Amino acid sequence: MARIQTVFKNFLNNFLDPSGKDLLSLPEKIKKDLSISLAEDEEIVISMKTDRAIYRAGLSKDSNSFYKSFAILTTKRLILAKDSTSLKIFREFQLNQVNSLLYEEIAGKPTIHLDNVNSKYVLSMPPGSFDEAKKFFDLLNTALEPEKSGKNFCSKCGNKIQSNSVYCSNCGTKI
């Protein structure tokens, strides 16, 4: 019974106060492993620990969830890696493949939605990490700006739209 109370207390403390954790830093071993796999002109912009990263391929209803992972933004790509003693990448894609990006708060958790060419991702951040998640989102959005130039994107939802569209096919906003 005491063990259950301790587990519950730790869970509740983490839920209510995630502040003692540095959610924007990679462990040194993962950072070192990652630096080896970066291109010469590629740098780490920011990383953030996630509670859960959900990957859904194309039109499939199946999805994969990866708990306690890292979202790592570089100058060229977004990398989703497992939280382990060494770098274990489970998904990565180039920034120019992102079709839409959305930040929202769901049940007290900051959440980032990404759609790319072939799949959808949901990054569920730790409860209470609003400042860190917003910083990560803003840097991700800024990194995507050069990718958006010359393309048409909805100003409300960020979805890619046809150049001759009058309304966004995703949210219905008038262009």
Q: What is the CATH number of the domain that holds 124?
A: 2.30.29.30
**Could you give the number of structural domains in the chain?**
1
> Do residues 168 and 159 lie in contact, with contact meaning Cβ atoms separated by under 8 Å?
yes
* Domain of residue 98, residue span: 21-148
The burial of 67, by beta-carbon neighbours within 10 Å (0-12 exposed, 13-18 middle, 19 or more buried), is given as: exposed
**What is d(CA 104, CA 94) in angstroms, rounded to the nearest whole number?**
23
Q: Report helix, strand or coil for 110.
A: strand
On whether residue 156 sits in a domain, the answer given is no
Closest CA to 47 of 35, 36, 65, 63: 35
pTM of the model: 0.72
Specify the DSSP class assigned to residue 134: H
**What is d(CA 30, CA 110) in angstroms, rounded to the nearest whole number?**
24
Q: What is the CA radius of gyration of the chain?
A: 18
In order along its 175 residues, the chain shows pLDDT tens digits of 555 555 455 554 454 444 446 888 888 899 999 999 898 999 999 999 999 999 888 766 778 888 889 999 999 999 999 888 888 999 998 888 888 899 999 888 999 999 887 789 999 999 889 999 999 999 999 988 765 554 566 767 767 777 677 788 778 888 7
